[in-house]
Chain A
Amino acid sequence: MSGHSQAAPAPGRHPWRQWLGDYAFLAPFLALFFAFTLLPLAYGMGMSLFRWESLSPLPPEFSGLANYREAVGDAYFRSALRATLWFTVLSLPLTLLVALGLALALAALRRRSGLYRALIYLPTLVNVAVAGILWRWLYSTELGLFNRVLRGLGLGEIGWLTDATWAMPSIVLMTLWWQVGAPTIVLLAALYQIPGDYYEAARIDGAGAWSRFRHITLPLLRPVLLFAVVMNLIGSFQVFGQTYLLTPDGGPGRTTLTLVQYIYEVSFENFRLGYGAAMSALLFVIIAVAVLFQLRVLRHES
């Protein structure tokens, strides 16, 4: 990383000619990065300060913080924020606990762990539209397999996606099925990296299974767990595909209409782009605050 690592300029050439060649390596990426990451970022911030409606005949008009004020007072925005938080609170711990359980079981196996690992990863390969079609059918009140089983057992039926209490947990369950594979593999790889000697030494000292897990596995897994929590958090706050496909209308009483789905609705169905950009900026702030909070809490525990 230090200055001496810089390649020495060829003899007889000015350093700036050397640099020009170096920048040529960087230029294609930087051009894309500027045009499609930095520019949208700045553009989005700017747009959020305008009354910008692409169906309206009026040109965009500067409106200061009006869009942000509207979001704070918008009951739909608040309900979307609640739905997103509820999804995250249910999905994040469930997904990571199941992934950890699966990874521990896989690490304990002597044979066939590759087979089980592949089976558990399989649903992740299915794209969200297919997963949505499949689970909408499984959850269907009349035709769905789940209710057929419940009726068969004489337990009546559940409005998996039509009952306000059940709709979000149903989406979380589908997400668990679809997404648990990747964190399982990440955690398993981290488990394999723990030297077996540590466990051997602990066993000789008379440590039981729980205490070995508590004092060896968990501390050594902490950095990878932290990474998995942060990735899942960022993904959960942006949940869109599942909720949009399982409950296109936002679910019973809009209980499954998440922030990104509301932003999509406002921006691309009502074409209120300025307001959509303002809510996107708020979403970014919420995610950033949540990530920093997680990092702080989980670091302090160690």
Chain B
Amino acid sequence: MKPDGKHNPLWPEIWLILSGLAAVAPLLLLVVTAFKPEAEVLNFEAVLPREWTWSNFVRILGTPEEIPMGRWFFNSVFIASATTLVVLAVSSLAAYALVRLRPPGSGVVLGVLVATMMIPGQVLLVPLYLILNQIGWIDTPMALIFPGAAGAFGTFLLSQFFRAIPRELEEAAVIDGCGRLSIFIHIVLPLARPALATLAIFTFMGTWNDFSGPLVLLDSIRNYTLPVGIALFQSSYASEYGLTFAASVLSTIPVLVVFLVFQRHIIQSVAMTGIK
């Protein structure tokens, strides 16, 4: 319903300018305050620092034994990437089997997947903690990676997509004598690239920002992910605003870079969830 013409209508644009400002202003405030010396944060005189300083950033990056930001960053990257890879691998194989190979029982499995999709993650956290404790995974990245790939969402999303791929392509490959695995790898996966990208973006961002999972399932400070590390940091340095703000800025930069590079794709993926 995009109207034609060159000029934007007045009221919608005013409303969007105000909303855009409200969205961005707190973030800009966070960034400029991270450059203030502590005294200026406490005795607020102006929005912009009168004296710009890197000291907050230097203190965070310069004392890794006290504040293991680099370590938390690495943990976050590792856990989010590994979860994404595991989700893509197991969900695409399973979705292909469920909608194309269809061994006996596929209908039942799909039914169970749909039924469990609405179960909120928080509800499973207490028993999950005990199960992971039994197998000795608490306080390891495995405690987040494998349970993170166990949900029905990814398999369901991909099965919807695989259904829409024209069957003729696979039938031609069968006639040429290709096996299941080679059809899956050489024909289905390349065609499913947009759906795989959507699932990858969702899994990565969801895992990167997860808070309650790492809070409950990780114990030692060195094993924390960024959100939990930053939250701990805030509670131990509560009075030093400049320092916590600099840590916040540092932890946000990677996500921002990813967003700027993949913006179009991320927005499309978010839009797709509602339409499918």
Q: Which residues of A come within 8 Å of B, CB atoms?
A: 5-7, 18-19, 21-23, 25-26, 28-30, 32-33, 35-41, 43-44, 47, 101-102, 104-112, 115-123, 125-130, 132-138, 143, 145, 148, 177, 181-182, 185-196, 199, 224, 227-228, 234, 237-238, 240-241, 245, 248, 260, 263-264, 267-268, 273, 276-277, 280-281, 283-284, 287-288, 291
Would you call A126 and B12 a contact (CB within 8 A)?
A: no
Cβ B23 vs Cβ A32 within 8 A = no
Q: Is the CB of A28 within 8 A of B150?
A: no
B-side contacts of A281, CB under 8 Å: 123
What CA separation (Å) do A181 and B16 show in the bound complex? Answer: 13
Interchain CB contact (< 8 A) of A284 among B120, B128, B212: B120
**7 closest Cβ pairs, A-B complex:** A186-B274, A189-B271, A29-B94, A36-B150, A105-B12, A25-B97, A22-B103
Provide the main secondary structure of the chain A interface. Answer: helix
- Which residues from 190 to 235 on chain B have a C-beta closer than 8 Å to any C-beta of chain A? 205, 208-209, 211-212, 215-216, 226-228, 230-231, 234-235
Known: A38-B116, A277-B126. A104 touches B12 (CB 8 A): yes
| B126, A26: Cβ atoms closer than 8 Å | no
- Contact sample, A vs B, 25 pairs, CB 8 Å cutoff: A5-B100, A29-B94, A30-B94, A43-B127, A47-B130, A106-B16, A110-B4, A111-B6, A112-B8, A120-B16, A120-B19, A125-B256, A127-B252, A128-B211, A129-B234, A133-B234, A134-B26, A137-B241, A181-B23, A188-B271, A189-B275, A273-B130, A280-B122, A283-B120, A287-B118
- Report how far A177 CA is from B29 CA in the complex, Å: 14
With both chains docked as a complex, state the minimum distance between the C-beta of B269 and any C-beta of chain A, in angstroms: 9
Q: Given A29-B93, A40-B127, are A116 and B19 neighbors across the interface (CB < 8 Å)?
A: yes
CA of A148 to CA of B129, assembled, Å: 44
| A133:B127 contact, CB within 8 angstroms | no
Docked complex Cα distance between A40 and B228 (Å): 23
**Cross-chain contact A267 with B128 (CB below 8 angstroms):** no
A32/B150 contact (C-beta < 8 A), A6-B102, A193-B275, A196-B2 known: yes
Q: Nearest CB to that of B15 among chain A residues?
A: A105
Query: Which residue of B44, B104, B155 contacts A29 across the interface (Cβ within 8 Å)?
Result: B155
Determine if A185 and B267 form an interchain contact, defined as CB atoms under 8 angstroms apart: yes
